[in-house]
Homo-oligomer: A and B are copies of this chain.
Amino acid sequence: MYGRGKIGHNWWYRRFRGCGYRITIPRESILDVLSRTDEHLSAEDIYLAVHKVHPTIGLTTIYRTLEILVQMGLVFKFDFGDGRARFELAEGPKGKRHHHHLVCSKCGRVIDYTDFIDDEMEFLSRAEQGLAKKFHFDITHHVIQFYGVCDTCQGR
């Protein structure tokens, strides 16, 4: 994680300030952790990662920051059925790859996949438009998850 001096030059700076939120070390650190991983981190995972660099930052701040980030649309919150929420950056400096999840019901393993996105896009754009019109919803995002048993758990 880079030092405090860079504050104000991050990709999310404008967006953050635009919402009236202040740029703080905890927030910077949390976004930094999220932007450096491909995993599906829980609040505690993030806390532990942040803690290594800034041991004074508490779990409460993690939760409060994540709430803001989710509400701003900067971060997606997922539930894979294991009782804790998981978080992922929605976009990034370079823009994260659009993907969905494949979850093993036995061991909880989560695989990201980016296949079939073209087919999906076609289906989704039609569905989103139709649903928005029919139910007068302002649709912001969608979640697609496949559940099943992974190869490891099958040989059990």
Contacts and interface: CB of A to CB of B under 8 A. Distances in A.
Contacts of A81: 77, 79
Contacts of A142: 144-147
Q: State the number of copies, please.
A: 2
A66 to B, nearest CB: 13
A126 interface: yes
A135 interface: yes
Interface size for chain A: under 10, 10 to 19, 20 to 34, or 35 or more residues?
35 or more
Nearest to A143: B145
Interface of A: 77, 79, 81, 102, 104-105, 111, 113, 115-116, 119-120, 122-123, 126-128, 130-132, 134-151, 154
Given A113-B131, A115-B130, 4 more contacts: A102-B135, A119-B127, A128-B146, A139-B146
